[in-house]
Amino acid sequence: MIRLLLAGTILSLWAAADAAEINIGYLHHTESKTYLSLIEIPAGNVGVAGAQLALDDNNTTGKFLNQRFSLEDIRLSPGQDAAAASAALAERGALLVIADLTADALLQIADTSAPRHSLLFNVSAIDDRLREEACRANVIHVAPTRSMLADALAQYLVWKQWRRWLLIVGSHAEDQLYGDALRRAAKRFGARIVQEKVFEDAGGARRTDSGVVQIQRQLPVFTQGAPTYDVLVAADESEVFASYLPYRTWDPRPVAGSAGLVATSWDGSHEQWGAAQLQDRFMKKFSRRMTARDMQAWTAVRMIGESVARTRSTDPTTLLNFMRGPDFALAAFKGQPLTLRDWNLQLRQPILLADGRMVVSVSPQEGFLHQVSELDTLGTDRPESKCRLR
């Protein structure tokens, strides 16, 4: 009996030693943002659903390499400390963490988890400062930055010869940041902002029973009297006004930015470069369309899968070194390999321009050249970067 038990222990020890176990943590907050359009309200599992699909993909590959991936989903209630949750994850051996968090929460766990050698994957914060003055050596940024999104949009508008922009910026801090990115993009790619307006958030509910009647009267007046322009560009991450603009401007002009033509890392209608297969897999598993945040989480978990498969290691430092090195190339249905900018750990990626029903174009646009990678025409480039990784 004892011999049997011993044999059993040895066998299970052998099995455990043989199969590599990779535990991935997923940290996110309960959503509290409000949206103008009902169809924009995210599903309860937004983000983490993409991670779960990538986990399936990793495990299909893993069964040929004797690697097993698991995901621990931790949803924080408002005000709950992200650092404590990440410490708990590390104690359970999950040193690879998908951070679906705000910029401040991300920085907090980046600093508290640095001594534990955890590696974080930012899948939702688009703030440029996280890749610039506040960059961290243990944070990989899968989400694009505001400046990458603004540049992607600007390249297309300039290609389209819509060079005269009427810029309307919301009154919240993140709207101002997107406004800054759009101004920078206009200057870089040769567009001209003919007038700039601020749309003050006067408060009030997003949902009302007779809202549309008033909006139809207010928006034309708000956009009346502008100098001649080709396109209205709106910066409204706070969801206060941009979605009201299309079809309601005083002059008949297209809308882009936070409504109309929107720059995004993914869209439920994207089907090129084999994307239809991923969309089908996602739909089959979750009965809904895949959003940008789902895709960013999918990409992060696939980056882990790919580097574990190539290095046969589960050590975060080994994986990071591989990912920022020359041999890393992720296939993510964007028509070209995704790689990491080694100076700030930002993922290089084409950006889609979608109108809510279809993908209109994909940036970088043809003709915007670069000596290293055309993907580096999007966002802050190496010579301009303020990031100094230690």
Partner 1 sequence: MQAEMSGAADSRFRLPRGFAAGRCWLSGIALILLLTAPASAFTAYVSNEKGNTISVIDTDKLIVVKTIKVGQRPRGIELTKDGKFILVAVGDDDTIQMIDAKTHEVVATLPSGPDPELFSQDPTGKILYVANENDNTVTIIDMERRARLGEVQVGVEPEGMGLSPDGKILVNTSETTNMAHFIDTETRQIVANVLVDARPRFAEFKRDGSEVWVSSEIGGTVSVIDPVKHEVTKKIAFEVPGLRKEAIQAVGISITRDGKTAFVALGPANRVAVVDGATHEVKKYLLVGQRVWHMAFTPDEKYLLTTNGLSNDVSVIDVTSLKVVKTVQVGELPWGVSISQ
Instruction: For residue 117, give the amino acid letter.
Output: H
Strands 340-341 and 359-363: unpaired
- Which C-beta is closer to partner 1: that of 176 or that of 318? 318
Q: Which residues contact 6 (CB under 8 A, 6 or more apart)?
A: none
CA 294-112-320 angle, 5° bins: 55
Instruction: For residue 127, give the amino acid letter.
Output: D
Q: Which two tokens stand for residue 364?
A: 């970088």
Using alpha carbons, select from 384, 355, 390 the residue that is nearest to residue 145: 384
Binding mask 251-280 for partner 1 (x = CB under 8 A): -----------------------x--x--x
- Contacting range for partner 1; rule: CB under 8 A; set: 2-10, 18-26, 129-137, 365-373: 365-373
- To partner 1, the closest distance from the beta carbon of 299 in angstroms equals 12
Determine how many CB atoms are found less than 10 A away from the CB of residue 378. 29
Strands 351-354 and 359-363: antiparallel
337 near partner 1 (CB under 8 A)? yes
377 near partner 1 (CB under 8 A)? yes
335 near partner 1 (CB under 8 A)? yes
235 near partner 1 (CB under 8 A)? no
- To partner 1, the closest distance from the beta carbon of 6 in angstroms equals 33
- Which C-beta is closer to partner 1: that of 132 or that of 239? 132
Determine how many CB atoms are found less than 10 A away from the CB of residue 180. 16
Using CA of residue 84, residue 87, residue 91, residue 97, what is the dihedral sign?
Answer: positive
How far apart are the C-alpha atoms of 265 and 254, rounded to whole Å? Answer: 21
- To partner 1, the closest distance from the beta carbon of 65 in angstroms equals 7
- Which C-beta is closer to partner 1: that of 118 or that of 363? 363
Give residues 155-214 in contact with partner 1 (rule: CB under 8 A).
158, 188-190
Q: Which residues bind partner 1 (CB under 8 A)?
A: 57, 60-61, 64-65, 151, 158, 188-190, 274, 277, 280-281, 302, 306, 309-310, 329-331, 335-337, 366-371, 373-377, 381, 383
